Copies of this chain bind each other. A is one copy, B any other.
C-alpha cells in the first residue's frame, strides 16, 4: 500500500530543498514525479529553495482543483510531491489520501504545521488527521534550540495581528522555539 506522508517543519527548515532532492532521486532511478504547488504563493510557479535550487512545478493548484483527477489524467506518476501543502483544502488532502490508498501512488506533502498565531492551516490540520506518516524537518531558533513555531513581524515588530496568510512588503517571519515565542510574541494566540 502506498502512503500519504506529511513532512512538516517551521519556516526555513528546508522543506523545498528536501522536495527537490526527492524529485531528483526519483528521476535518477528512472521514475516520474508530479509536483504540485497551491497558487497562494503567487510569486512563482516553481519550487524555490533557499539554498538556490529551483524546480518547475507540474501543477499550480487552486482551491477548486480536483487533485486526484488531474494527477491520474497526467499519466500516473510514481510519486506526487506537494510544496506548501498547508495551503491545500481539506478536500484536496482527502484526494491525496485516496491517491495513496486507492491508486497506489505515494504522496509526500511538505508544509508548515501552524501559522504565526500557532494555529494550524486547513491543509496541515487535515494532513495531521489523515497522513500515514508524520515526519518533522528540524531547524533551529536563533537561541540554538529546535524551532517549532513561526512568529510574524511587521516592520521588524512581532505581532499576532492580521490574516493567516500575508507575505507582502514589510511582513516577515521567523521560526522560533517555544521559549522565545512566549518571550517575544507574548501569548500562544
| A114 contacts B by Cβ under 8 Å | yes
Decide if A1 touches B53 in the complex (CB within 8 Å): no
| A164 contacts B by Cβ under 8 Å | no
Cβ–Cβ < 8 Å partners of A100 in chain B: 178
CB proximity to B under 8 Å, residues A108-135: 113-114, 118-120, 125, 128-130, 132-134
Cβ–Cβ < 8 Å partners of A98 in chain B: 182
| A62 contacts B by Cβ under 8 Å | no
Cβ–Cβ < 8 Å partners of A119 in chain B: 129
Cβ–Cβ < 8 Å partners of A179 in chain B: 1, 101-102
Offer 18 A-B interface pairs, CB within 8 angstroms, sorted by A. Answer: A1-B177, A13-B25, A14-B22, A17-B17, A17-B21, A20-B51, A28-B50, A29-B142, A31-B142, A53-B53, A97-B178, A100-B178, A113-B129, A119-B129, A120-B125, A132-B146, A133-B136, A134-B134
